[in-house]
Amino acid sequence: MNPNQIVRWGLKPAVFLASLVPFVWLVWSVYTGNVGADPLQEITNETGIWALRFLCITLLVTPLRRLSGWNPLIRFRRMLGLFAFFYGTMHLLVFVVFDRLAGMGFPSPFALRTYRELAVSIGGEILKRPYITVGFTAWVCMLLLASTSTTGMIRRMGARRWQALHRLVYVAAVAGVVHYWWSVKADVSRPQTYALIVAALLGVRVWWLLRKRVVAPARTASA
């Protein structure tokens, strides 16, 4: 096998399966009743934290690629980003089903009214509670990125516009951290850790950008 095939048929499936482990683990824990006294909190926390972790891992791809010089890393980025969206969507669904729908007493799924009321109920919470507002913002960003993540979409949008849109991943990461920070009661040590990680991941990009700006004119001047 050449290196290209190793990535395609070896490493990518391996990373895909590894990325599913938290999900399988969670489903298995719920199924076997190993989620402690408060299963809902466990499910909510786990899906949320894994969404944030995958956002961080996705943002790590480019710096790692530049530092290591191993370019095939880029081929994992879309998949990792989609996993962030997957866990984020699970997190949102848990809120919609176990908090909102359950709060309405699980009305009939065949009545149009159910969906209208559900939308009002979800919208109300999003507007009323700032930590949900930012959390939902992060999800909407990820939704836009996920739905334009195909090669076809890149072609249709054009690389420049596509890249501009996909800078929203920075917004998603920052909003994700803020959502986490605002949702804890007193101990912000864990959100703080994620804030530092995201700050470092964005900081290194800003630093590279600035360096490029400084270096580039210097070269033309010497020409």
Binding residues (CB under 8 A) for another protein: these are 34, 36-41, 43, 64, 67-70, 98-99, 102-103, 129, 131, 182-187, 189, 219, 222-223
Min dist CB 154 to another protein, Å, is 28
DSSP tag of 76: G
Question: Are 114 and 51 within 8 A, CB to CB?
Answer: no
Q: Which is nearer to another protein, 25 or 147 (CB)?
A: 25
- The residue among 108 and 187 lying less far from another protein, judged by its C-beta, is 187
- 89 vs 192, which CB is nearer to another protein? 192
Alpha-carbon distance values, 136 to 60, 89, 94, 130, 182 (Å): 23, 10, 13, 10, 13
Rounded-to-integer distance, Cα 182 and Cα 74, Å: 33
Smallest separation (angstroms) from another protein to the CB of 196? 15
**Least Å distance between CB 107 and another protein?**
14
Q: For the CB of residue 164, give the shortest distance to another protein in the complex, in Å.
A: 29
Yes or no: say if 165 and 145 are a contact pair by the CB < 8 Å rule: yes
Please compute Rg for the chain using Cα positions.
20
Q: How many Cβ atoms are within 10 Å of 136's Cβ, its own excluded?
A: 20
Of 75 and 100, CB closest to another protein: 100
